[in-house]
Amino acid sequence: MIVKKVEELLNKQITVEAESSQIYLAMACWAEVKGLQGVAQFMYTQSDEEREHMLKLVKFVNERGGHAKISALKAPNVTFNSFKDMFQMLLDHEIFVSESINELVHVTLQEKDYSTHNFLQWYVAEQIEEEAMARTILDKINLIGDDKGGLYLFDRDIEQLTATTQANIPSE
C-alpha cells in the first residue's frame, strides 16, 4: 500500500511529467515552423518520452493501491527568441524536474516507503542523462554561435542523434 503523502507527491510528479511533454511538444512545433526539422524531431521524441514517464508513474500509483489523478496543465511557451534560448529553457526545465524527483525521493525515505524509493531510482538516473544531454547540446550551440552553416549541420546532427537514440531503445 502506498503512503498517502507519497501518493500526493507522485500525483504532482505526474503533472510535472505531463507538462514536460507539452513543453517539448510546443518546442517541436516552434522548431518545425522555423525549418529546423532535426530539432523538431528531437523535441517530438522528447515529448513522447516525457509522456511515457508520466504513464509509468500513473501505473505505479494505481498498482500500489493509490489513485493516479490527471490534472489540468499549464500552457507552455509557444514561441522562443532563438533555438539557443529554447535549449536553455530545456536545460532549466530538466533541472527543475530533477529537483522535483529528488524531493520525492527524500520524502520516500522520511516515510520509509522503500518500494517507491526503489521505483524512483530509475527517474533519478534518467534525470542525470537528461541534464547531461541538454548541457552537451548547449555546448554545441555555443560553439556554433551565429554561423548559419553550423546551425544547418547541428540540425542534421541532432536528427541523427534522435534516430540513433530511438534505434538503441529496447522495445518493451
Residue 50 counted as an annotated binding residue: yes
Alpha-carbon span 78 to 68, nearest angstrom: 28
Residue 103 contacts by C-beta under 8 Å, 6 or more apart in sequence? 9
Quick one: angle between helices 83-110 and 4-33, nearest 10?
Answer: 170
Query: Among 83, 10, 103, 98, which residue's Cα sits nearest to residue 43?
Result: 83
Residue 103 counted as an annotated binding residue: no
Residue 19 counted as an annotated binding residue: no
Residue 94 counted as an annotated binding residue: yes
Alpha-carbon span 66 to 9, nearest angstrom: 12
Residue 127 counted as an annotated binding residue: yes
Residues annotated as binding site for Fe cation?
Answer: 17, 50, 53, 94, 127
Specify binding-site residues: 17, 50, 53, 94, 127
